[in-house]
Amino acid sequence: MSADSPDLAAAKRLLDAAKDQGFRFQRIAPGPDGPLLGVRETPEFLDELYLAGFWEAGACTAIRRRRYALVVPGGLPVTARVEGDALTVLHTVVKDWACSSS
């Protein structure tokens, strides 16, 4: 993937949009290309985004969990899950999950 690739530019814009929507990212392995973990907490949902191997199918995932006021045995239930390359996962989180969590 070249530095001026349209896919890379789109992924960077989607990553910026995810940050604008409240995701907090941290690099979870050393190096400039180490995997990223993003978390967004809203009153309704807890969203987790894992980005690694940006262009490999199945290398990136996102999970949306519904939040409850009560303690739920086994953790919060998963309401949505997406797996794929970075563009697929970021697009789903930024576009499809944005309306529900605003």
Query: How many other C-beta atoms lie within 10 A of the C-beta of residue 62?
Result: 23
- As a whole number of angstroms, the distance between CA 102 and CA 34 comes to 29
pTM above 0.85, yes or no: no
Q: What is the pLDDT of residues 14-64, one digit of tens each?
A: 999 999 999 999 999 888 778 999 999 998 999 999 999 777 788 899 999
- Using 50, 70 and 90 to split pLDDT, how confident is the model at 74? confident
Q: What is the token pair recorded at 65?
A: 């969990």
Domain residue limits, the chain: 6-101
Those residues with Cβ within 8 angstroms of residue 15's Cβ, 6 or more apart along the chain or in another chain: 25, 51, 90
Distance CA(26)–CA(73), nearest Å, equals 28
